[in-house]
Structure 1
Amino acid sequence: MKLKLTATLLLAASVAFAQQNEVNRFQQYRPIWENGTLAQKDSLATALLGEVKGYNTEQEYRTTMNLLYALGHEEDQKQLGVQAKKKFPKGSLTRDAFVSDVFYKAETSEAKEKAYKELTKKWPQKNFVGEELSYDYVLANLAGTYAKEGNATKAVSYLSEMKERFWRGNGYLPVAQTLLAAGDTTAAAPLLKTAMDDAYYYISLPEEQKDNKARFASMGYASSMSAYVGILVNQGKHAEALDLVEKALVVAPEQADGLASVYYKLLINANRKLEAFNILRGLYAKGQFGVEDDLKTLYTALNGSLQGYESFNTGLKNELLVAIREHIKEKETFKPAPAFELLNLKGETVSLASLKGKVVVLDFWATWCQPCIRSFPGMQAAQTAYENDDDVQFLFINTWERDKEYKKNVVSFIEKNKYPFEVLYDDQKDAETGQVMAAKFGVNGIPAKFVIDKEGNIRYFLTGSTPNVDYIKMEMKELIEAAKKPYKKG
């Protein structure tokens, strides 16, 4: 047993070392695949393909495939993938292709379960030390499908097979939410508690032990905590729920915003009205205007009437406005926007040159990007506010899609959600650099938003987003109105 364990540890260490070397190699060529000319990219691709005969590991093939994709040589990447799969028929590339082409395309839980069993038979997890997460993704998806079909027993059973503690909350939480929506609190509660406890474990680690996994795991604390506390509240266990939240805020004060909505309601129930009011005030001052009814109620309870409320409310909105203006000042820039001509959903060409004289808002997004999608209701509200302003144009630039059927998926997504957006496909590569438009604009992550003035200059560049509709609406108004004015340095 000891010899077997030692061998396993040595294998894991050697795999990790090899993977790190390949990561370093990928980054070595970053200047070329990110900013090189088309000629430089083609030259590097040719050189890489010339090295292939000397490859001995699947990781070498995978790294070169990733590089070829980054260089815009998708066909070469596909051909190399075919070679690698022939050389390593039981390797991770054939496994991943099976997962993508068979498991994820299965439409029912029974079909997915059959594919999962075939996966674990042909590519047993023990043969892929250090790649447990690849199997956890599949398990989470399978469990989620069973949950949606109402089979909680199967869903919970497959979740229990997940190995990576730092990530399993991402499988547990969606399944628990699905079960909660179906009224199955009994099955959902333990899942939420596990996800919550996992996140708490990583949050509580000493600072020197907090790696990227720990930081990732802690991000789900507020969501799992809020859902679990909701169950306790429905069971009438308000004191227990309040105690959990307050302990959480001690160890993870950075989660305060995520827990604020549930916290203030618990404080109201505990008759701690002033504390609840202060939290509500903070939420409202950050643009969460949906809490106004509760804010009014507490204002009246604490002051005896609504007298002075309007002035108070105006002060909070002015406070938010000042914060937004300070925030966008940090995002200010001034440089010519790269020219573009892209096709919209109707196949019509839309160019930046044709929009000269208008303030143009670009929103780079993808169908798989959840932060992008969460911001869309707010972006829709902002667009609606300017629907009668002929001097403003919103463009939603679909980029970085991973599916071959991306155009069909984009149309389906927009129609399903009834978004009145002008969507452009970012799939036209520059003849000189081979870059798509996102790269030309310097986008490294999405969502990414640019506000371009009437003369074609980028005035603001923002990354990330919030699901807060009122905040987005106010922020976009400030950005657009500022871009309408002549640029003043400083």
Structure 2
Amino acid sequence: MRTYFLCLLLAAGCYFHVSAQSTGRLQIDKQHPAPNQEITLRYNSDIAVPAGKELHARVGFYNQLKYPRARDITMKLSGNAYTATISVPEGAVVMGVAIGMDTIIDANKGKGFLFDVYSNDKAVANIPGIRSFIYTYGDEVFGIKPDPKAALSWVNLQRQAYPATKSDYDNIYYTCLVKNPGKEHRKILDAEIKRLLNSDKEADFKKAVDIYGYQKNRKKVDSLFQLLLKRFPTGLAARGQAAGEIFIIKTAAEMQQAYEQFCKQFPPSLYHEEPIQYDYIRIGIAQRYAREKDSLHAAAFADSVQTPYLKPTTYNNVAQELFRAGLLETAKVLFQKAFSGYDEYLSAKKNDENAEKALKTYVESYCNYAIILYEQKNYEQALKYITIAYQHLNNAVALNYYYAKILKANGKPADALHIMDGIMRTGNADSTMVAAFKTLYLEQHGAQADFNKYMATIQEEVVKKHREDIVKQMIDRPAKSFTLTDLDGKKVSLADLKNKVVVLDFWATWCGPCKKSLPAMAMTQKKYSNDPGVKFLFIHTWEQSNTPVQDAKSYIDSQQYDFEVLMDLKDPVTKKNKVVESYGVTSIPAKFIIDPKGIIRFQLTGFSGDTSEAVQELSTMIDLAREEGKRN
């Protein structure tokens, strides 16, 4: 490796040949793939693709320190290998690939299939840095798992090969040092913290704060952040805090007044590299005026937004608020302004990084505009705009519901019934939609038609598909053993729960999404309350106060939850919450369903917000885990 570094440095910008251009099972036909060049992927595998399924290559191109947009390309069988062709875009540095069907089936054992991009047969700049980013944080889209050791090697290589970029990769470098503990790394971090805290630059001071954040030293982060605000009273952190205070003001007029004072304290001309903060405030004021039914000021602040990709989104959001307030004519004007902004992203800027967000809001705008026209009984024009939205997004339940209503209003009940039938088969229809579907069904098939029998058939299909989808999420990983203390001081060990399905829920009282998911957990637990083969454990972790046990007990009691809460408290020496760390959790809420043999079968992170859907999903996972535990 030492010789490798010497060769690299002597090359004066010439990069080395990377063996990753061939990764065993997956290869590309170009030794040095370059921008604007078409390359062929070749996947050598004896995998059997079931009838009706297709093998896909999920491909994305990294060009900076953020995740790329990925697209799935169908692979065709050619001889004894599957192939697909793709063009390398301008600016690409590293290409990431994963192989899959409905889900990823081959991600090179969590390392990912990565290929470097060249220019004039020389590897483009910053490949080591991009790879360090990938292995520091992982990339679920390509099935890549974090690899701290590999990440540290790559970031060290970046810092040696391209010293001018060191500061760009500082946060990755510090994260890697924290994740690769040792005396030498601790020494480096201490020296860096001292240097950064003595700097007269806010960005450097903030990096020191970030290091303590990577170490999960919340107390130090909080104290240093307050010092940061004092040392840099007109800095970005101070500006961000002041901006946040504007959003908690109750009335739009008071928000506007506070914003004008904010601009005097933090003149926009001094922050030309960070202008978006001002637009976010303008958007907030515009929406607040809209909620107060002041369409004149709402429209004026919407017009004042300067960031190009935010303008159509702003018009859409403010128009929606005016729509809800009953100010339909002004809402229509703003929706029309939004349309012109989207058109640019659908044509000239279709490859822009914000194009996908723009398209989503574009669909919302056309749908909402169609609803206004529908309520004004302008059914023909409503159909025109809802059809445009449907052509871009035909799997959104709410959009499809309005599409069906508008179709029926235009004298097309058969088409409306077809759309409603599709909604029912998603399993996400609410009671209003089911009632509308029943009306349409009986109108088309006659009052004597057996609607309940037909719905039962659909429900059977929904349950079957839902189960099949969840089966694809099943994993096979031994659960880490642990012993924790509950709120009453009693010790509970996972080892004592063998032969049961165990549901772990890592949560915290300060975590909003965690608390929002608890009603669904309570409903699921109640569903299995008479089943001795299922056990729920709620593990409180990552505490941020000095009284975590009391905090957890007070919250559980206040909500009247009948939960068995265990406390995964910080180790007094390592300052780490051992159990949550051992399960590899990076964010909460995090749920694990463990089968009776002690194997993790499912892992869930976050909460979608739909309680009934969550109960159904958890129930299916519990039942599947039980079945797996019975297998030999």
Q: If the length of structure 1 is used for normalisation, what is the TM-score?
A: 0.75
Q: Does 1:481 align with 2:623?
A: yes
Q: State the distance in 2 between where 1:40 and 1:489 align.
A: 48
Contact (CA 8 Å) 2:363, 2:393: kept in 1 or not?
no
Q: Deviations over 1:325-354 (max 9, x none)?
A: 22212221232046475887xx98896749
Which residue does the alignment assign to 1:451? 593
What are the within-5 Å matches in structure 2 for residues 101-180 of structure 1?
Answer: 102-168=245-311, 171-180=314-323
Which residue does the alignment assign to 1:9? none
Q: State the distance in 2 between where 1:19 and 1:84 align.
A: 26
Given the superposition, is the C-alpha separation of residues 121 and 478 from structure 1 closer, same or farther in structure 2, using an over 3 Å criterion?
same
Deviation at 1:205, TM superposition (A): 5.1
Given the superposition, is the C-alpha separation of residues 157 and 42 from structure 1 closer, same or farther in structure 2, using an over 3 Å criterion?
farther
* 1:52 match: secondary structure: helix
Q: Does 1:91 align with 2:230?
A: no
Q: State the distance in 1 between where 2:314 and 2:470 align.
A: 36
Q: State the distance in 2 between where 1:200 and 1:337 align.
A: 52
Moved more, 395-404 or 195-204: 395-404
Q: State the distance in 2 between where 1:466 and 1:382 align.
A: 16
Deviation at 1:139, TM superposition (A): 2.4
**Aligned mate of 2:170, from 5, 13, 25:** 25
Which residue does the alignment assign to 2:360? 219
Code of the aligned partner of 1:262: Y
Contact (CA 8 Å) 2:592, 2:602: kept in 1 or not?
yes
Contact (CA 8 Å) 1:140, 1:172: kept in 2 or not?
no
**Aligned mate of 2:442, from 293, 300, 317:** 300
Q: State the distance in 1 between where 2:485 and 2:286 align.
A: 40
* 1:130 match: secondary structure: coil
Given the superposition, is the C-alpha separation of residues 275 and 381 from structure 1 closer, same or farther in structure 2, using an over 3 Å criterion?
farther
Structure number with greater CO (CA < 8 Å, separation at least 6) is 1
Given the superposition, is the C-alpha separation of residues 95 and 197 from structure 1 closer, same or farther in structure 2, using an over 3 Å criterion?
same
Q: State the distance in 2 between where 1:92 and 1:384 align.
A: 48
Contact (CA 8 Å) 1:32, 1:40: kept in 2 or not?
no
Q: State the distance in 1 between where 2:321 and 2:542 align.
A: 29
Deviation at 1:437, TM superposition (A): 6.0
Contact (CA 8 Å) 1:446, 1:463: kept in 2 or not?
yes
Q: State the distance in 2 between where 1:403 and 1:158 align.
A: 40
Q: Deviations over 1:28-51 (max 9, x none)?
A: 344454x45597986564233122
Which residue does the alignment assign to 1:312? 454
Code of the aligned partner of 2:359: S
Deviation at 1:404, TM superposition (A): 12
Which residue does the alignment assign to 2:422? 282
Q: State the distance in 1 between where 2:614 and 2:403 align.
A: 24
Which residue does the alignment assign to 2:352? 210
**Aligned mate of 1:442, from 574, 584, 591:** 584
Q: State the distance in 2 between where 1:412 and 1:144 align.
A: 36
Code of the aligned partner of 1:260: N
Which residue does the alignment assign to 2:399? 259
**Aligned mate of 1:237, from 378, 390, 399:** 378
Moved more, 130-139 or 84-93: 84-93
Length, aligned pairs only:
464
Deviation at 1:143, TM superposition (A): 3.3
What are the within-5 Å matches in structure 2 for residues 380-395 of structure 1?
Answer: 382-383=524-525, 385-386=527-528, 388-389=530-531, 391-392=533-534
Higher strand share: 2
Moved more, 135-144 or 327-336: 135-144
Code of the aligned partner of 2:505: L
Deviation at 1:304, TM superposition (A): 2.8
Which residue does the alignment assign to 2:474? 332
Deviation at 1:380, TM superposition (A): 6.3
Given the superposition, is the C-alpha separation of residues 105 and 226 from structure 1 closer, same or farther in structure 2, using an over 3 Å criterion?
same
Which residue does the alignment assign to 1:62? 206
Given the superposition, is the C-alpha separation of residues 248 and 105 from structure 1 closer, same or farther in structure 2, using an over 3 Å criterion?
closer
Q: Unaligned stretches of 5+ in structure 2? A: 1-162
Given the superposition, is the C-alpha separation of residues 284 and 384 from structure 1 closer, same or farther in structure 2, using an over 3 Å criterion?
farther
Q: Does 1:48 align with 2:189?
A: no
Given the superposition, is the C-alpha separation of residues 319 and 19 from structure 1 closer, same or farther in structure 2, using an over 3 Å criterion?
farther
Q: State the distance in 2 between where 1:181 and 1:414 align.
A: 36
Which structure has the larger Rg over C-alpha atoms?
2
Code of the aligned partner of 1:25: D
Code of the aligned partner of 1:235: Q
> Percent identity among equivalent residues?
23
Q: State the distance in 1 between where 2:545 and 2:217 align.
A: 16
**Aligned mate of 1:76, from 213, 220, 226:** 220
RMSD of aligned Cα (Å): 4.6
Higher helix share: 1
* 1:220 match: secondary structure: helix
Moved more, 138-147 or 112-121: 138-147
Q: State the distance in 2 between where 1:429 and 1:435 align.
A: 4
Q: State the distance in 1 between where 2:564 and 2:308 align.
A: 39
Code of the aligned partner of 2:461: E
Q: State the distance in 1 between where 2:304 and 2:545 align.
A: 28
